[in-house]
C-alpha cells in the first residue's frame, strides 16, 4: 500500500509542479514548424524523412555527460531529449492526413525524480505544437509501410549505442526502423539527400536565429574583454578559462559551444589545445578560442593577448600580419563570393608576410605555420552545416580566423619561437557587405593594450591560499 501511495504522490508532484523562471527567448514552436515545412518543400515526391535523437554518452561509470540534442532534431522540432524519432512525410498520410509524427520518451515519475522532467506526449503537443505524438514504445507497432515510399531520407545512423531490450530507447527505435524499412546497412544516397536538404536550410539564418546568434556572440565578446582586463603573468590558463565560463553562465549561456582552448606561449601553437592546465601564463601571449552556446546556438571567438598587457616587437609583428590577413578577407565578405576564396585570400597575405619577416622563403611553406582553413559555417553547430563548394549568400554566418603558429625548434630565427596568434570573428554576410558580430571585442593590438590597462571586476576577488 505504501508503494502505491508513493507512486501516486510522485505522479501528483510531476503533474502539478512545472518548472518556473525559465528563459523567455527560446525559439518558438512556430519557428520549428516553419523549419519542418521548409524541409518538406525540399523533399522529393513520395518520400519520408526519418530523424533520430542523439544517444546519451557515458561520462564515468553510471554517470552520463550532460545531454546535447541532435541539432537537426532540435531545429525541426524543438525537442531536446534522447530516445526520440521524427517522421516527416512529403504528402499527407492515412485517413487523418497527418504529415508528421513524433515519438518521444514516456513520462515516468520515478525517473523524472532522479534525472529531470520529461515533456512526454502531452508536452510535445502543447509546447512543441505537434498533433500526432506517441511514446517511443509505440513505434514498433506503428502502422507504416516504408517500402511504399520512393525515397527514405535519413542522416547517418547513430552507432556505438547501448544495446537494450527497452522498447522505447534509441537502440530499439533504430532496430525497429531498420526492420520496417528493410535496411541492413546505411544507404549513402539517403544520407546525402538528408545532408543536402539540411545544408541548404541551416546555412541561411532566419531572423529568429539571428537574434540568438547575436546574443551568444555578444556575451562571448564580453567574456573575452573581461579576461583582457583581468589577465596577468601569474594567472593560470584554467583561471582565464573559468572567467569565460562565469561570464557565459551569468548571461544565461547553457554551456560552451566546444571545449575551450586557452593556451599560453607554446600551448597557443597547438591548434586544439585543451588541457588549459599551465599554472602561470608568464610574460607570454595567451591565445583564447572560447565561445558560448546560448539556447543551442554557438559563438566562436578567438583573441590573442599579451599576459603583461604589452606586445613585444616579435609578437606584434606576427599579430599584425594575422590582423591584416583578416582585414583582407573581410573585403570580400559579401554575397556572391566563392567560399573557397576566403581561405585563398588569407593564405596569400600570410605567405607574403612571412616571407617579408624572413620566416619562410617559399610561399608554399606558409602552410607549415598556417595549417588550417580560414572559415567555417556557424550556427547550431560550431562547425555548422553548409555547402563549402558554393558562394556566400545573405544571412550566412561564417568565421574568419587566420592564424600563425611557430612552435619551438621551427626552422626560423628562434626569436619567433612559441608565438601563436589566431584572431577569429563571426561574420554575418549581407548582399554588398558584412557585419562583424564579434566587433565588440577589440582586435587591433593598440586597442587590446588599452583595454588591458582597465580594471576588471575579478581583480578584487580574494581567495584564501590552499
In the set 112, 383, 387, 388, the catalytic residue is 383
Q: Clarify whether 424 is annotated catalytic.
A: yes
Catalytic residue, chosen from 424, 425, 426, 434, is: 424
Burial of 30 (0-12, 13-18, 19+ CB in 10 A): exposed
Note if 224 is an active site residue.
no
- CA 231 vs. chain centroid, Å, equals 26
Catalytic, out of 100, 405, 425, 426: 405
* Catalytic option among 293, 300, 384, 426: 300
- What is each CA distance from 361 to 351, 357, 365, 366, 410, in whole angstroms? 9, 10, 8, 9, 14
Q: For 49, phi and psi rounded to 5 degrees?
A: -110, 140
Cell 606586445, residue located? 311
289 catalytic per annotation: yes
Instruction: Answer yes or no: 26 catalytic.
Output: no
Three-state secondary structure call for residue 99: strand
The pairing of beta strand 255-256 with beta strand 301-306: unpaired
- Whether 401 sits among the annotated catalytic residues: the reply is yes
Q: Which residue in 3, 17, 62, 141 is the catalytic one?
A: 62
CB atoms within 10 A of CB 362: 10
Among candidates 131, 101, 106, which has minimal Cα distance to 119? Answer: 106
The span from the CA of 419 to the CA of 155, in Å, is 41
Annotated catalytic residue within 422, 425, 434, 443: 422
Is 68 part of the annotated catalytic residue set?
Answer: no
- Print burial letters for 402-416: b (CB count within 10 Å at least 16), e (below 16): bbbbbbeebebeeeb
Neighbouring-strand partners of residue 261: 289
What letter would DSSP give residue 336? T
Q: Is the dihedral of CA 166, 172, 176, 177 positive or negative?
A: positive
Q: Say whether 96 is catalytic.
A: no
Q: Is 372 a catalytic residue?
A: yes
Which residue among 81, 289, 384, 426 is the active-site one? 289
Of the candidates 384, 401, 425, 426, the residue annotated as catalytic is: 401
- Indicate which residue of 107, 202, 347, 376 is catalytic: 376
Determine if residue 310 is left, alpha or beta; phi over 0 gives left, psi from -120 to 50 gives alpha, anything else beta: beta
One of 111, 249, 250, 272 is an active-site residue; which one? 272
Is residue 275 flagged as an active site residue?
Answer: no
295 is catalytic: no
- Catalytic site includes residue 111: no
Active-site residue set: 62, 272, 289, 300, 372, 376, 383, 401, 405, 422, 424
Amino acid at each position: 500500500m505504501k508503494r502505491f501511495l508513493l507512486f501516486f504522490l510522485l505522479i501528483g508532484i510531476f503533474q502539478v509542479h512545472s518548472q518556473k523562471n525559465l528563459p523567455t527567448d527560446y525559439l518558438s514552436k512556430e519557428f520549428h514548424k516553419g523549419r519542418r515545412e521548409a524541409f518538406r518543400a525540399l523533399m522529393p515526391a513520395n518520400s519520408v524523412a526519418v530523424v533520430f535523437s542523439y544517444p546519451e554518452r557515458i561520462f564515468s561509470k553510471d554517470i552520463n555527460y550532460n545531454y546535447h540534442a541532435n541539432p537537426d532534431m532540435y531545429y525541426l522540432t524543438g525537442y531536446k531529449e534522447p530516445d526520440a524519432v521524427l517522421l516527416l512525410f512529403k504528402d499527407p498520410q492515412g485517413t487523418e492526413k497527418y504529415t508528421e509524427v513524433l515519438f518521444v520518451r514516456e513520462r515516468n515519475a520515478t525517473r523524472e525524480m532522479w534525472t529531470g522532467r520529461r515533456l512526454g506526449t502531452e508536452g510535445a503537443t502543447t509546447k512543441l505544437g505537434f498533433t500526432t505524438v506517441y511514446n517511443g514504445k509505440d513505434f514498433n507497432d506503428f502502422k507504416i509501410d516504408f517500402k511504399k515510399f520512393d525515397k527514405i531520407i535519413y542522416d547517418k545512423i547513430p552507432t556505438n549505442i547501448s544495446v537494450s531490450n527497452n522498447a522505447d530507447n534509441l537502440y530499439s527505435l533504430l532496430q525497429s526502423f531498420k526492420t520496417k524499412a528493410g535496411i541492413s546497412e546505411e544507404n549513402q544516397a539517403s544520407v546525402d539527400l538528408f545532408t543536402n536538404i539540411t545544408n541548404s536550410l541551416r546555412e541561411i539564418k532566419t531572423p529568429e536565429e539571428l537574434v540568438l546568434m547575436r546574443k551568444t556572440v555578444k556575451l562571448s565578446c564580453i567574456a573575452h574583454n573581461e579576461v583582457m582586463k583581468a589577465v596577468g603573468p601569474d594567472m593560470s590558463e584554467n583561471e582565464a578559462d573559468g572567467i569565460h565560463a562565469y561570464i557565459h553562465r551569468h548571461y544565461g549561456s547553457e554551456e560552451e559551444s566546444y571545449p575551450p582552448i586557452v593556451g599560453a606561449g607554446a600551448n597557443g601553437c597547438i591548434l586544439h589545445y585543451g588541457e588549459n592546465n599551465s599554472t602561470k601564463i608568464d610574460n607570454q601571449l595567451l591565445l583564447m578560442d572560447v565561445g558560448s552556446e546560448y539556447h543551442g546556438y554557438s559563438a566562436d571567438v578567438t583573441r590573442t593577448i599579451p599576459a603583461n598587457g604589452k606586445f613585444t616587437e616579435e609578437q606584434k609583428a606576427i599579430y599584425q600580419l594575422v590582423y591584416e590577413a583578416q582585414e583582407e578577407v573581410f573585403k570580400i565578405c559579401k554575397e556572391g563570393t566563392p567560399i573557397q576564396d576566403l581561405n585563398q585570400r588569407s593564405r596569400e597575405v600570410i605567405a607574403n608576410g612571412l616571407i617579408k619577416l624572413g620566416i619562410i622563403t617559399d610561399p608554399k611553406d606558409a602552410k607549415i605555420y598556417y595549417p588550417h582553413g580560414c572559415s567555417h559555417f556557424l550556427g547550431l553547430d560550431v562547425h555548422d552545416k553548409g555547402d563549402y563548394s558554393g558562394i556566400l549568400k545573405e544571412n550566412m554566418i561564417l568565421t574568419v580566423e587566420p592564424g600563425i603558429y611557430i612552435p619551438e625548434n621551427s626552422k626560423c630565427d628562434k626569436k619567433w619561437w612559441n608565438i601563436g596568434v589566431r584572431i577569429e570573428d563571426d561574420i554575418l554576410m549581407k548582399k554588398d557587405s558584412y557585419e562583424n558580430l564579434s566587433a565588440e571585442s577589440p582586435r587591433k593590438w593598440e586597442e587590446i593594450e588599452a583595454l588591458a590597462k582597465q580594471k576588471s571586476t575579478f581583480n578584487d576577488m580574494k581567495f584564501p591560499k590552499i
